[in-house]
Structures are given as C-alpha cells and as structure tokens.
Structure 1
C-alpha cells in the first residue's frame, strides 16, 4: 500500500498564481507611500520584488533519508479477502524548501498518475507498506520518486514563469501608485 495522500491534486497552481498576480496592486498600495516617491520606479520595484516573489519548491533529491520498519499490513489472501500480516513500511524522505502548500496545488499540465506522500517537518516522505519484498518496494518507491520529481519540476517552471513577469507587473503597479499619489497631492493643493 502506498504511503500518504495524493499530492498536487487539491487546487490549481494557475489559479493560485493568478490570485498572486491580482494582489500585486494591493501589495504596492500597502508598501508605497508618498515618502517613497523620492525613489525611482526601478528602485521601488527592486525593493518590493523579493517579498512579492513566489518561492518554488526545492527538493533535495540527492540526499534521501531511507527507513524500513516492521509494520502490520493488510493484504489480500488467496480467497480475495483481507488479512493482516507482519510486513514492512519502507520510506524515503527528502528535505525541501518553499511553501509546503505548493504540494497541494495541481500543476499545468498534470496527469491522472500523481505522486503520493506525507509532508512533515520540512520533509516530503514517500514510501510503501507491504510484504517484505525488497524488489517490489524499491520499484514502487522509485516510481513515486520519479513522479514527485516530475511534478516538482512542472510546478517550478510555472512559478518561474510567474516570477519572470513579476518585475513588469510591479513596475505597472508602482507607476499607477505614483500617479494616484500625485493626483491626491494635486487635489489637496486645490481644495
């Protein structure tokens, strides 16, 4: 039995990134005031960019922690029923950085074959419980790792595409904010 929940399934990464894009204007409104207008637009954008970026998942696939423990597992018997036997729980876990919530977000494209895993203490854990059959366990864990690699890579590409256009989005929002604050200053002087 594969360990963990289905990853990259719950919500759309595209929708999440569009929401982030839509929040750029509010971000600029909250962070840029009249005193900031002595700086150039480029300086303001440069200061806002790190906080506005979405950090992609970075998974350390080169340094897995492997574990195998005794476990009671349910398997099919010869009469197509379920029995509980002594078995093993074999896992590989990888350290990661980035928002753990990104493991929930469906990438574009995606397929119906999704990785399973558990997210705990800045580690993603993949594995399987079953009979003590090293070849079967290794084959399934390798397959889960490959799926995880593919989905992390796809997620990273989507996030990097968003981050690449973020400077221009911030630039437009800063220019708009500058114009809005100048208009308010002009109004203040006229009343």
Structure 2
C-alpha cells in the first residue's frame, strides 16, 4: 500500500500529465482552426491566412451585388458578393468573393462593401500559385475569424500551466526531505 505522500505525488503527476494532454489537444484544435482544417470549421480564416503569402495579379471588378438569403429567426442574411477577373501567366480567370461582410443581418453594411467595388475598377487579386483559379481580393484577417483560435489558445495555455504546476508540485513533494526519523 502506498503512503499518503507517495499517493499525493502519483496523483499530482498523473493529473498534471492529463492536463498537459488536454492542453495539447486544445492546441491541436486551435491549429486546425487557424489553418482551416476541416474547411467547414474555419475556411475563411485559413484561406485568408494562406493568401497572405500568395502573389498578386492586377484584376478588374466585373460585378458586385448584395445577396439576400433566409437567416435565423426570420431575419434575412445579407452578403456582399464581388466578382472579379484577372490574368495569371496569360491565362484568364474569374472569381468571386462572398465573405466580405462582417455583420450579416445589416443590409447597409453589405451595401457599403458593394459600393467600394465599382464595376470596371482595378483591384489586386491574390491567387494561389499552385491553383491560380483560387483567389481573393480581400485577404485581411478580422477578429471574428480568429475567435475559435483565441479560445483554443487560451484553453491550451491554462491547461498547460495547470499541468506543469501539478507536475512541479508532485516533484517538489518528492524532493522534500521526509520527517525526521523517530528517536
């Protein structure tokens, strides 16, 4: 049978390792959100982050409109959709970006974005050099794109700190001198 001190050390180190494991899982979740894997979780932020390294080609706006779709609670969903044309190595491409709206239930916000992209205006198009048909005109990262990442990172830091504290506590108990021998 284990003495009380030994049991405390084993429990402390085991708890610390468990917290570290959960923390690493939270980090993995945060990285998946950051890089857009799976795409359904965070396609927007993953593509926008990748696009920050993509080359740019001159392009032209060929259309911009507010798309209305049914939303939750009978509120319509408004989204700005901007279509553009660009050329990469002599090949012509057309693309559309529909993730430009921050507030989806406010028509004026979507309309303001559409107003910024006048048909015929020049624009830089950032394209994937491995797949030039994949492109963006706005590659900025907005805070709402990283909410999942931020929460996962915070969870990671808290769990790792708790895990390390528990492990260090267990090791400190091991290193502490025992009670003096009885006379």
TM-score, length-normalised on structure 1? Answer: 0.27
Larger Rg: 2
TM-score normalised to the size of structure 2? 0.28
